[in-house]
Chain A
């Protein structure tokens, strides 16, 4: 099945991903952000909150955004 994955961590990217049937949100997160903790991210399914054990469906849209994104001053 294919989903649309948006990863707003780091440089950010958005692309379709081929996943095996039965993949959960939790599993997708672990694969996408292997060193991250889910509680440090806003994980949205089709633009809304989602449970970690939700089983992804074909055509779903998942976004992963860090809760902490540091702004700066002179570096801008």
Chain B
């Protein structure tokens, strides 16, 4: 540890210098433009106006005066713009001393601090992060910058990934493919980066990592370990599952079955096959094992098989039986 501390003491000032150079490059003012062309135009118009008056060309002088007015207005606007550029003070960047103090202070705030001159990277390791009893592990926050270049960037990497069951690329509810969605932290983080407040940069990112926004997560913590399908046991995410409309149990789309009559989504063990057509139905759509459509068909067929007059009363004589007298005997 002592060696590490000594190493940091040697490397930190050099890294701070590189970072300071990078931040200052970002603050170089935009080139100032002196309106030479407009001024030359005004000078020429002034000469023309004088000449026109001296020769009595009053109509021409009037035209030149109008052009002069336009040019002077243009010059006023350009000078006002230049004035506002000069007056606008760039936000003060951290001094070299501040940067060194920030880097040194990180050691008491984070588990581990790494200074890498070869890659111009400053990295910290957070404590293991647990959100709502879901263990996500420690994360490494690495800030990269290059001397002479004006941009800094950071990455957040899970060191012991415990990703969402549905997507390996989601190692934190607000990290996908290594990209942290800053949400509320975007503006203060941007300001801290612009100002070179390195300690604040890392602290803000850490607070984002340790806060769960259930309303805007790539995968909610409730679903982090997935929800098993009640039939096959496969872990499912939100868009991979539905539920049985009889029991409310979670089902993957592969296992879910639809009643061929009422079209309700059901678990396979909540359906039965019609003994006639073999299609699957819920129990409410079967009558003695036969679906309504098949029952109707059976009834229709039965009616068409019966001969004409089958329902007429049977006369005794037709059956070769002696008719019995119906009078008194």
Interface residues of chain A, those whose CB is within 8 Å of chain B, are: 6, 8-14, 42, 46-48, 63, 65-76
Interface residues of chain B, those whose CB is within 8 Å of chain A, are: 101-102, 105, 108, 173-174, 176, 179-192, 195, 197, 199-200, 203-204, 207-211, 213, 216-218
Known pairs A6-B200, A65-B203, A74-B216 / 15 extra A-B pairs, C-beta < 8 Å = A13-B191, A14-B195, A63-B197, A63-B203, A65-B188, A67-B210, A68-B207, A68-B211, A69-B185, A69-B188, A69-B204, A70-B211, A71-B181, A71-B216, A73-B217
User: For residue B179, which residues in chain A have a CB less than 8 angstroms away from its CB?
Assistant: 76
Which of A8, A13, A46 is close to B204, meaning CB atoms less than 8 Å apart? Answer: A8
Q: How far is the CA of A8 from the CA of B206 in the complex (A)?
A: 13
Write the nearest CB–CB distance from B61 to chain A, whole angstroms. 55
The 4 closest A-B pairs by CB, nearest first: A12-B188, A71-B174, A72-B183, A47-B105
Write the nearest CB–CB distance from A32 to chain B, whole angstroms. 14
A72 touches B216 (CB 8 A): yes
Q: How far is the CA of A68 from the CA of B203 in the complex (A)?
A: 11
Q: How far is the CA of A68 from the CA of B204 in the complex (A)?
A: 9
B184 touches A69 (CB 8 A): yes
Write the nearest CB–CB distance from B193 to chain A, whole angstroms. 10
A48 touches B105 (CB 8 A): yes
Q: How far is the CA of A75 from the CA of B213 in the complex (A)?
A: 12
Which chain B residue has the least Cβ–Cβ distance from A74? B216
* A8-B204, A42-B207 as given contacts; A72 in contact with B213, CB under 8 Å: yes
Write the nearest CB–CB distance from A40 to chain B, whole angstroms. 11
